[in-house]
Structure 1
Amino acid sequence: MSYQPLLISYEQAAELGQYVGTDSLIGLSIAEEIEALEAYMPIGIEIPGHGEAGGYEHNRHKQNYIHLDLAGRLYLITEDKRYLDYATTMLVEYAKVYKHRELNISRDSNKPGRLFHQTLNENMWMLYSSCAYSCIRHELTEDQQQLIENDLFKVMLEMFVETYAENFDIIHNHGLWSVASAGICAYAINDQATVDKAIYGLKGDSVSGGFIAQLTQLFSPDGYYMEGPYYHRFSLRPIFLFAETIERRQPEIGIYQLKDEVIKTTAYAVMSTAFPNGTLPALNDSSRTMDIKDLGILLATNICFDRYEQNETLLAMAKHQGKVWVHNTGATLSNTLENNADVANFSWGSLSLTDGSAGECGGVTILRHRDAKSDDSMALLWYGQHGSDAKLHSALDHGHFDGLHLSLFNNNQEFTHDYGYGRWVNIEPKFGGRYIPENKTYCKQTIAHNTVVVDQISQNQGVTAIAQVHNGEKHFTLLDDSKLQGMSAFARDYYPGIDQQRTVLMVELAGIEKPVIVDLFRMISEEQHSYDYPVHYTGQIVRTNFEYQGHNSLSTVGDDHGYQHLWNVGQGKVENSSLTTWLMGDSYYTLISSANENSEFIFARTGANDPDFNLRSEPMFILRQQGANHLFANVYETHGYFNEAVEASLDARGQVDSVTVLHSDDSASIVSLNLVSGKQVQVCVSNVVDVAETTENNITVDGKVISWTGAVAIFE
């Protein structure tokens, strides 16, 4: 037979059949897919009408294409004729009604399809259904082929490529799905002219649109995607499915070698942002639970291992994922992992990724530390561009106002976290499953992130158009020494007349179990302002070293920019240095903060002005301080152990007692960590622009000169 399925050959399918019923990772993955299909098939075949996002109709169409794809692939692997009959009937039934359907109703700016409220979902339906069709086409009669191709797939292609041509060529996540689905569908029905449009763009120049333009323009030189890891992982599915199809049908294009192997680079970029427990950082509109088990990252892990390099990190990723793609690449990975079962937890190490098409728009830096007990600590500092595209309608703006965002992780949990997006995905009763209004009024606002807020106003006034012209600037990174790692960046003019600099250090100190995190957040201004440093945590407050008053009647912390959604549940005055400890899981976490005159500490909780209970009720606290040029000097310490079941608590008090600012200006920041033992640790950071390893720093403090070379020095 000259016609081959898109993603797997008949021979490869037969080889996969040998794993059915085995307890290998590939065998178990096949069994999982068979179980899912067998559970869905008895429901029967239904082609529902229109519905809104997350509603019954939406979900039924989605489940139809998921199981249609399973039926096609599993038929090749198992030769179970029931799967062939199911897939055939499903495609025929859709073909009978599709071209007669009116367009659905769109409730936002997205173009509607004939099945879904937006073409993105219709693209996904076409992509998966085309893959299924390619698996069973050789078993269909000519009449069935003609019906499915003429009345279903060609009608869909006309809508996507011609009717919605402006979306087809847009360089964006949605455009990527559009060209990939069109290209895969066109391959499935042997329409090379449309394949060429999908690969090279409507103009055929590989610049104004098409898959090649997407790959060469959508990502930074380090592979980072401006909307953040949540949307980045979603882009991996069309990338790898279309790339694998192109490589099989037109290997002469060399798609996997394009632009210095950009496909591998961008896959590694999103993988490398993951926390040690596999979850992805919630940058911009993001779920706090999305992780590396997502299908896009699963595909990337399998195909990169087969097409690029068989390294231990990808093996560790697959071990964490606990399954492989049911494909020949999944079999390769499964067999290799079977011979390397003792591979350690994955770690991409400390790294820095640039943002922007030329790497000119800041980026993200990640510090990682693995201790003697194999526990991984991680700190992430984000200082890239606003996560939206100026070419797109504001409805597609996924950016948050959180320049210099910080997230911290150890003991298998993120202990200072980002709220993430405000969205009840596919839960139709909750605002149709779409983004809730509070996503704009709270989640996007700066106070919803671990980032300093000036005068209770969000960065860039909370206006996307203003934010799009700003991005952070890397100051320095120290990534090679496990005992002292660091990262520093500037955010200039996010507030008129105010520059910000954040320096985050991960430091091993003698006698302290985990590396401490030193967070120096510097505000640079000629005028006085009120500065709020928010911390979002999970758990219970167990200790403070200052007096505060809990409120019996609640009012909001403020009136706008997200503050209207925060209940003020307690507050107190702070002098010199504050200490706050909370218990999360079986670990204690302490934040020690410097303070100046008239400093306040506010305990707050989300949920105010939220009549539909859309927001999660979560605790946070705010360090409020006044100043012009001002430095927040904060130290995070992880310590101790708690086990409620056996009523055990160890080291509930940390080793760092207080922190003192000794010096802060454009030359340097110097702070003292004062330990319970009486010892002091001086942390010295150079603020000199373009600081290098050879930069000499000489700062006078209380009549004494402190000297060091390079960006950072620690004196114990």
Structure 2
Amino acid sequence: MSYQPLLISFDEAAQLRNELGKNTLLGNALSRDIKQTDAYMTEVGIEVPGHGEGGGYEHNRHKQNYIHMDLAGRLFLITEETKYRDYIVDMLTAYATVYPTLESNVSKDSNPPGKLFHQTLNENMWMLYASCAYSCIYHTLSDEQKRLIEDDLLKQMIEMFVVTYAHDFDIVHNHGLWAVAAVGICGYAINDQESVDKALYGLKLDKVSGGFLAQLDQLFSPDGYYMEGPYYHRFSLRPIYLFAEAIERRQPELGIYQFNDSVIKTTSYAVFKTAFPDGTLPALNDSSKTISINDEGVIMATSVCFHRYEQSEVLLGMANHQQDVWVHSSGQTLSNAVADATTIPAFNWGSLFVTDGPEGEKGGVGILRHRDAQDDDTMALIWFGQHGSDHQYHSALDHGHYDGLHLSVFNRGQEVLNDYGFGRWVNVEPKFGGRYIPENKSYCKQTVAHNTVTVDQKTQNDFDTATAESKFGQKHFFVADNPALQGMSGSISNYYNGIDMQRSVIIAELAEFEKPLVIDVYLIQADAEHQYDLPVHYNGQIIRTDFDYQVESKLRPLGQDNGYQHLWNVGSGKVESSALVTWLQGNSYYSLITSAVEDSEVIFARTGANDPEFNLRSEPALILRQSGKNHVFASVLETHGYFNESTEASLSARGEVKSVNVMGHDEVGTVIRIETVKGNDYFFAISNEAESKHAQTRTVKFDSHYYTWTGAFAQVEQSEVDPASK
């Protein structure tokens, strides 16, 4: 038999058949898919609904139809049960019967509509998965059945994507990936090489202006990072792997997995490596707070990377965390490896800097990771890349947030300093049709919704996409060769007119503390006086402060615009030297201690103001406010203690850090002091000079004290003697 299904050959299906009923990752995945597909086939049967809202009944039914056709196709090959084949035939026939006469749906956003869905992106996905299913049963169909399904359904869909919407087909963008993958896979399924070539090489067949190869060549930075962030990046992995597997099987001479220095591996690892220790993906730009490495595309990528690239321990750790594999020959390889392993450590990609921009020239993401003796992972992330916008694709589809130098921190199994993420209730039709809520623009994208400095209660780059697209941050340093003392730093310039900002984050393992300290030094240099706000978004219950504050008896918003209109002013207090706030989150206490100067203020805030439809989650925040010209916010986040209500245990609710002060800063460096309740002092110095000078030894003098160090940053000693005089 010359025809082979696209993703699983007949021989591979026979091998996968041996996994049925086994208590392995693959065996369990098969059992789950069988249970899910059987239930859907029985309870829903064959239904082709009309048009409906995005996220509404009709939308969801079309989506579930293609999902279960795809599952049924693989299950037919693996189990050889004809009920799965018959289900696909009946479903595709039902769609082919009505598709030619369907009017276009009504678009509710900037993406053009399909006949089934309100945007062609979903129509691409439908055709891709339906084509995969069709390839699984192709060899069982009569010529008459093939002609009906191909002529009245699949070929008409191809024409919509490559002719009607030709202007969108060659766009280098994650939507474009789905379009080319759908057309290419469909072309393979119906033996239409002309359509496959358009999908591979673009409508001009030049391999540059469009097509899958152009997508792989142009969409990612040299480190594989996708400008819109991990949420949209992981979404791109599905079409990449589905099409790549089909290409490898139908046109192996293209060497798709080795293309462009194995860019498929590089870009997959860029997603893997950003994940928090609990597997969730950080909310950079428009992002869900719950998407994790259990995403379908990441599971595919994990299986194929292990099968085709390298059988590494960290991929085993990911699979063990996911407790899932792709139902595919690659998934079988990974499942067997997990079953054969005696011990599998939790996945840990270590500390890394990932570049942004097509040449890696537009800043990036810095990540520091520390695993302690109890196997607890601390992770800190700062972002200073290019604006995460697909403005080149369509002006209304700007997924970028205005949060240069945002900081997230994770430890003890939870995100401690967090990003709100996007404002959207995905597929929850009563909430704005499941689309982005209005507050996504008015709050979530705004700078104050993130853990980075706002100036004069404004948003970076005037909340203007075109302006933001012209700016990007730069790496100041990234040093992680010593696990006990790691540091990273980035800078942004003129995100506010006349203001430069540099943020440096150090993870320091010190014997006096039960967990590493996260030290945050935020340097602001301006040409005039301004109000500086450093928001800190957290989750938990305030336990104590070391300053007096007043709680507002009547709630009012913190401002009128730029996101401040959505923050309730809950309370505030004046501070003069150093401010400490402790909160309880889960079983852990966290203390944030921040330097302050005269007339500093700590504001307690909470989301929910000017939100008449209760679209926003109610979450707390601290805002550290200071007015001046040049300024340094120096903060330390200390993790300490343990709380367990069931055993009435509360240990070390008070941390060891007493205060944080800035000893001084100039063009050479910044020095801070951390004072503990036991009377110990720790001094840290950070270079403010260009990266090319970081290897030099330097000395700074502040208030009659000298500090000397070599490198980008260091723990230093305070001296009253100039080392040059020795």
Question: How far apart, CA to CA, are the structure 2 residues paired with 1:41 and 1:64?
Answer: 9
1:109-120 correspondence runs (5 A) = 109-120=110-121
Question: How far apart, CA to CA, are the structure 1 residues paired with 2:693 and 2:222?
Answer: 23
Please give the per-residue CA displacement for 1:267-320, whole angstroms capped at 9, x wherever unaligned.
000110000000000000000110000000000000011111111111111000
Question: How far apart, CA to CA, are the structure 1 residues paired with 2:323 and 2:693?
Answer: 43
Q: Are 2:560 and 1:559 equivalent residues in the alignment?
A: yes
1:586-597 correspondence runs (5 A) = 586-597=587-598
Matching residue of 2:722: none
Matching residue of 1:40: 40
Deviation at 1:665, TM superposition (A): 2.1
Question: How far apart, CA to CA, are the structure 1 residues paired with 2:421 and 2:532?
Answer: 23
Question: How far apart, CA to CA, are the structure 1 residues paired with 2:706 and 2:582?
Answer: 35
Give the counterpart letter for 1:398 in structure 2: H
Question: How far apart, CA to CA, are the structure 1 residues paired with 2:25 and 2:476?
Answer: 44
Could you say what secondary structure the match of 2:167 adopts?
Answer: helix
Matching residue of 1:322: 323
Please give the per-residue CA displacement for 1:201-232, whole angstroms capped at 9, x wherever unaligned.
11111110000000000000000000000000
Matching residue of 1:28: 28
Deviation at 1:693, TM superposition (A): 4.8
Q: Are 2:562 and 1:534 equivalent residues in the alignment?
A: no
Matching residue of 1:225: 226
Question: How far apart, CA to CA, are the structure 2 residues paired with 1:235 and 1:543?
Answer: 45
Please give the per-residue CA displacement for 1:605-663, whole angstroms capped at 9, x wherever unaligned.
10110111110111111000111010000000000000011110000011110011101
Question: How far apart, CA to CA, are the structure 1 residues paired with 2:374 and 2:705?
Answer: 41
Question: How far apart, CA to CA, are the structure 1 residues paired with 2:566 and 2:661?
Answer: 33
Deviation at 1:159, TM superposition (A): 0.3
Question: How far apart, CA to CA, are the structure 2 residues paired with 1:594 and 1:186?
Answer: 62
Q: Is the 8 A contact 1:506 1:515 kept in 2?
A: yes
Matching residue of 1:19: 19
Q: Are 2:677 and 1:676 equivalent residues in the alignment?
A: yes
Deviation at 1:689, TM superposition (A): 1.3
Question: How far apart, CA to CA, are the structure 1 residues paired with 2:468 and 2:486?
Answer: 30
Matching residue of 2:720: none
Could you say what secondary structure the match of 2:302 adopts?
Answer: helix
Question: How far apart, CA to CA, are the structure 1 residues paired with 2:238 and 2:66?
Answer: 15
Question: How far apart, CA to CA, are the structure 2 residues paired with 1:19 and 1:44?
Answer: 27
Deviation at 1:699, TM superposition (A): 0.3
Could you say what secondary structure the match of 2:47 adopts?
Answer: coil
1:33-432 correspondence runs (5 A) = 33-42=33-42, 43-432=44-433
Q: Is the 8 A contact 2:687 2:694 kept in 1?
A: no
Q: Is the 8 A contact 2:350 2:368 kept in 1?
A: yes
Q: Is the 8 A contact 2:8 2:328 kept in 1?
A: yes
Q: Is the 8 A contact 2:391 2:397 kept in 1?
A: no
Deviation at 1:341, TM superposition (A): 4.2
Q: Is the 8 A contact 1:284 1:398 kept in 2?
A: yes
Could you say what secondary structure the match of 1:553 adopts?
Answer: coil
Could you say what secondary structure the match of 1:481 adopts?
Answer: coil
Give the counterpart letter for 2:16 in structure 1: L
Give the counterpart letter for 2:186 in structure 1: C
Question: How far apart, CA to CA, are the structure 2 residues paired with 1:661 and 1:432?
Answer: 50
Q: Is the 8 A contact 2:224 2:268 kept in 1?
A: yes
Distance 1:341 1:164, change over 3 A: farther
Normalization by structure 1: what TM-score? 0.99
Question: How far apart, CA to CA, are the structure 1 residues paired with 2:248 and 2:182?
Answer: 16
Give the counterpart letter for 1:523 in structure 2: I
Deviation at 1:129, TM superposition (A): 0.3
Matching residue of 2:724: none
Please give the per-residue CA displacement for 1:513-551, whole angstroms capped at 9, x wherever unaligned.
111011001111021110000011111000100000111
Q: Is the 8 A contact 1:475 1:690 kept in 2?
A: yes
Question: How far apart, CA to CA, are the structure 2 residues paired with 1:527 and 1:156?
Answer: 59
Deviation at 1:339, TM superposition (A): 1.1
Q: Is the 8 A contact 1:500 1:522 kept in 2?
A: yes
Question: How far apart, CA to CA, are the structure 2 residues paired with 1:153 and 1:14?
Answer: 29
Q: Is the 8 A contact 1:476 1:691 kept in 2?
A: no
Question: How far apart, CA to CA, are the structure 1 residues paired with 2:666 and 2:35?
Answer: 63
Give the counterpart letter for 1:114 in structure 2: K
Normalization by structure 2: what TM-score? 0.98
Could you say what secondary structure the match of 2:222 adopts?
Answer: coil
Question: How far apart, CA to CA, are the structure 2 residues paired with 1:240 and 1:44?
Answer: 29
Q: Is the 8 A contact 2:97 2:152 kept in 1?
A: yes
Give the counterpart letter for 1:526 in structure 2: D
Aligned residues: 716
Matching residue of 1:463: 464
Matching residue of 1:580: 581
Give the counterpart letter for 1:171 in structure 2: V
Matching residue of 2:548: 547
Deviation at 1:25, TM superposition (A): 1.3
Give the counterpart letter for 2:660 in structure 1: V
Q: Is the 8 A contact 2:691 2:712 kept in 1?
A: no
Could you say what secondary structure the match of 2:385 adopts?
Answer: coil
Q: Is the 8 A contact 2:709 2:716 kept in 1?
A: no
Please give the per-residue CA displacement for 1:393-412, whole angstroms capped at 9, x wherever unaligned.
22210000000011000000
Question: How far apart, CA to CA, are the structure 2 residues paired with 1:526 and 1:138?
Answer: 73
Structure 1 alignment gaps of length 5 or more = none
Q: Is the 8 A contact 2:443 2:566 kept in 1?
A: yes
Q: Is the 8 A contact 1:691 1:711 kept in 2?
A: no
Matching residue of 2:657: 656
Please give the per-residue CA displacement for 1:100-148, whole angstroms capped at 9, x wherever unaligned.
1100000121100000000000000000000000000111111111100
Could you say what secondary structure the match of 2:94 adopts?
Answer: helix
Matching residue of 2:623: 622
Could you say what secondary structure the match of 1:386 adopts?
Answer: coil
Question: How far apart, CA to CA, are the structure 2 residues paired with 1:412 and 1:234?
Answer: 25
Give the counterpart letter for 2:595 in structure 1: S
Could you say what secondary structure the match of 1:555 adopts?
Answer: coil
Q: Is the 8 A contact 2:29 2:327 kept in 1?
A: yes
Question: How far apart, CA to CA, are the structure 2 residues paired with 1:516 and 1:241?
Answer: 43
Could you say what secondary structure the match of 2:633 adopts?
Answer: strand
Quick check: 248-257 or 336-345, which moved more? 336-345
Deviation at 1:44, TM superposition (A): 1.5
Structure 2 alignment gaps of length 5 or more = 718-726
